């Protein structure tokens, strides 16, 4: 019997299911970015523009190194959702223990990669001299908390597959409060600059990871495993990797394009780096609804494919796309009026060039938010349907778009070309994803019909 914190998305009103599942995800994404943005705000206000650029210049590199393992956590979400739809609870338990062990090992690997590769990677990215020392320090300290971060991401993916999006939100809220308090202590009171911001993040990551594991163990009897149960199931590990590695590759390939673009931005100087850093923080906050809709559709598609209800998957895509499109129009109007005022949270009003560049990038990107809606909704639906290898090709499309802009347009058109890089990437990805979804839906329908005839 399902608990009150679980959600069966294979039945009931579709719009209500999507909204109830999405809203906690949206709040989680907003809170996570707000708490992470605290690093930029506090460092920018109390340690200066160069320190802020040091923190902001590491974002794309973080994504490159972390996203492969985040993709595997998406694979865990899809598998657990599929098993929930099939009522296969043995499969759920095997996937859970395999996933958490994978997250722990992945976190340890990331600690080593982050510490070793910080300076050479930032150097290859043409990070300005006045920024690189702080960026290296921030990155090395930040990566110490990766084991806890990976455990949280895998644990949250499992809970969401069960239909529980509230508990990950609560854990994130607790961790976010720790991050804010840590920033105030280490940066404002102790004057530790970028190192203090990184230490605060590590402490908050540890808190979220421990809370997530404790809840998994205490509240889910089916997931409550004794010491002898912690043995990796080879078949389940292969299923998890088969589902998650393509998603991780897609994320990493997409991040490669972002790294190339960041390298092009770095070549334009510290002021442009700061402008992109401010715009990126606001952009990621505004994109939380798209991310939440995508994560919802991964679970939604996984459960409904497990229950062999393809009609609900089709309707779910349409409903989510309409929700995202309405939001895109509304937020464009809001930011046209107040983008400059919001940017003042990150930099002083005297930094007029940075403020102008942030506004330019935000508005150009927001004009193309409807294509971004399709990227998230369709891509995650395809992953939830079990066709995660298509995610790699979608990532290649995004990488090509950003790389072409970085290599061929930024040298001639400068910062304006940077502003169009992501829209080009989104449109290319949509041109692949929409036909890919139609193929996947047709394939599954044929498979379900064939299985029904054999029964």
Residues 6+ apart with CB under 8 A from 145: 201, 202, 203, 205, 206
pLDDT-based confidence at residue 53 (cuts at 50, 70, 90): low
Give the whole-angstrom CA distance, residue 52 versus residue 50: 5
Residue 335's contacts (CB-CB under 8 Å, 6 or more residues apart) are 286, 342, 362, 363, 366
Of 149, 133, 135, the C-alpha closest to 56 is 135
What are 111-140's pLDDT values in tens digits?
888 888 878 877 877 777 777 777 888 888
Please state the φ and ψ torsions of residue 373, each to the nearest 5 degrees: -55, -45
Place of tokens 């019997």: 1
- The DSSP symbol for 190 reads S
Closest residue by Cα to residue 36 from 271, 273, 288: 288
In whole angstroms, how far apart are CA 254 and each of 62, 137, 182, 394, 433? 12, 25, 32, 8, 14
pLDDT per position as a tens digit, 138-182: 888 888 888 888 878 777 777 777 667 777 778 878 887 888 888
Residues 6+ apart with CB under 8 A from 342: 282, 335
For every residue of 225-290, DSSP letters joined together read --GGG----HHHHHHHHHHHHHHHHHHHHHHHHHHHHHHHHHTT-HHHHHHHHHHHHHHHHHTHHH
> Each residue of 366-423: pLDDT tens digit?
999 999 999 999 998 998 887 877 877 888 898 899 999 988 999 989 999 999 999 9
Tell me what percent of the residues of the chain surpass a pLDDT of 70.
76
More confidently predicted of 296 and 219: 296
Would you state the pLDDT for residue 401?
A: 92
More confident residue, 102 or 401: 401
pLDDT band at 439 (very low <50, low <70, confident <90, very high): very high
Q: 343 or 73: whose pLDDT is higher?
A: 343
Please provide the average confidence, as pLDDT, over all residues in the chain.
79
Residue of higher predicted confidence among 23 and 78: 23
Q: Which pLDDT value is given to residue 1?
A: 40
Are the beta carbons of 36 and 341 closer than 8 angstroms? no
Model-level pTM? 0.69
């Amino acid at each position: 019997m399902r608990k009150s914190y679980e959600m069966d998305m294979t039945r009931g009103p579709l719009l209500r299911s999507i909204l109830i599942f999405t809203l906690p995800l949206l709040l989680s994404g907003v809170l996570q970015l707000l708490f992470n943005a605290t690093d930029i705000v506090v460092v920018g206000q109390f340690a200066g523009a160069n320190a802020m650029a040091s923190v902001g210049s590491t974002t794309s590199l973080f994504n490159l190194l972390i996203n492969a393992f985040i993709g595997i956590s998406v694979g865990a979400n899809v598998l657990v959702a599929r098993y929930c739809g099939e009522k296969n609870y043995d499969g759920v338990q095997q996937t859970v223990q395999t996933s958490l062990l994978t997250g722990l090992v992945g976190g340890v690997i990331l600690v080593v990669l982050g510490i070793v590769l910080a300076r050479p990677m930032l150097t290859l990215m043409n990070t300005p001299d006045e920024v690189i020392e702080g960026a290296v320090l921030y990155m090395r300290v930040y990566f110490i908390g990766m084991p806890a971060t990976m455990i949280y991401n895998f644990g949250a993916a499992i809970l969401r597959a069960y239909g529980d999006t509230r508990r990950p939100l609560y854990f994130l809220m607790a961790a976010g409060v720790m991050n804010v308090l840590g920033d105030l202590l280490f940066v404002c009171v102790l004057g530790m600059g970028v190192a203090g911001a990184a230490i605060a993040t590590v402490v908050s990551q540890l808190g979220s990871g421990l809370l997530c594991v404790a809840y998994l163990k205490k509240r889910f009897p089916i997931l409550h495993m004794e010491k002898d149960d912690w043995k990796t199931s080879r078949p389940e590990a292969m299923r998890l990797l088969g589902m998650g590695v393509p998603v991780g590759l897609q994320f990493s390939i997409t991040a490669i394009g972002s790294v190339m673009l960041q390298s092009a931005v770095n070549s334009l100087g510290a002021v442009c780096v700061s402008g992109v850093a401010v715009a990126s923080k606001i952009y990621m906050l505004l994109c939380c609804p798209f991310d939440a809709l995508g994560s919802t559709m991964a679970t939604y598609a996984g459960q409904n494919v497990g229950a062999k209800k393809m009609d609900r998957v089709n309707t779910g895509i349409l409903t989510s796309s309409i929700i995202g499109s309405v939001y895109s129009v509304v937020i464009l109007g809001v930011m046209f009026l107040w983008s400059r005022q919001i940017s003042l949270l990150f930099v002083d009003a005297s930094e007029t060039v940075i403020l102008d560049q942030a506004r330019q990038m935000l508005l150009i990107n927001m004009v193309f938010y409807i294509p971004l809606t399709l990227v998230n909704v369709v891509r995650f639906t395809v992953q939830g349907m079990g066709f995660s290898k298509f995610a790699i090709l979608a990532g290649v499309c995004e990488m090509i778009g950003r790389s072409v802009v970085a290599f061929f347009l930024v040298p001639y058109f400068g910062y304006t070309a940077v502003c169009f890089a992501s829209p080009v990437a989104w449109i290319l990805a949509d041109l692949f994803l929409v036909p890919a979804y139609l193929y996947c839906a047709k394939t599954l329908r044929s498979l379900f019909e064939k299985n029904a005839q054999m029964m």
